[in-house]
Amino acid sequence: MAKSVLSASNSVAVLVSLQSKGGRSYASLLVEDVGNYNSVKSAAKRLDEEGLLTISELDSGNILYELTDLGRRVAAELKRAEDVLAGLDPEESMPMDYEAPEGKGSAVR
């Protein structure tokens, strides 16, 4: 079985960092979350090859990374997994019983 791009160094960090920045960011801003420019650049290249993000070189010379639709979905799931590991699972706080308390109206159906 081939290794997933997610198992490659810094791939998850780049995806989650982009997701936290609204799905797009300059390479220089991702360095804060990932480590160094070369780490960002090599991870982003792999993610681009897998269709998870796009890389644009702007006229200013800046590099812009933007999540694709698939990249957004994957990044959201990775963020959710990180939240679960940190004990911040939003589903745990959701009620399992959607019926209204007694005497408070009808049950949701």
User: Could you tell me the two tokens for 96?
Assistant: 């399992």
CATH number at 10-86: 1.10.10.10
pLDDT of residue 76: 93
pLDDT of residue 108: 38
pLDDT of residue 47: 97
pLDDT of residue 94: 44
pLDDT of residue 8: 86
Cβ-contact 71, 15 below 8 angstroms: yes
Q: Per-residue pLDDT tens, the chain, 109 aa: give them.
A: 668 888 888 999 999 999 999 999 999 899 988 888 999 999 999 999 999 999 999 988 899 999 999 999 999 999 999 888 888 866 654 444 434 345 544 343 3
pLDDT of residue 106: 39
pLDDT of residue 88: 83
pLDDT of residue 1: 60
Cβ-contact 26, 63 below 8 angstroms: yes
- For residues 78 and 90, give the distance between their C-alpha atoms in angstroms, rounded to a whole number: 14
Residue 53: φ, ψ to 5°: -150, 165
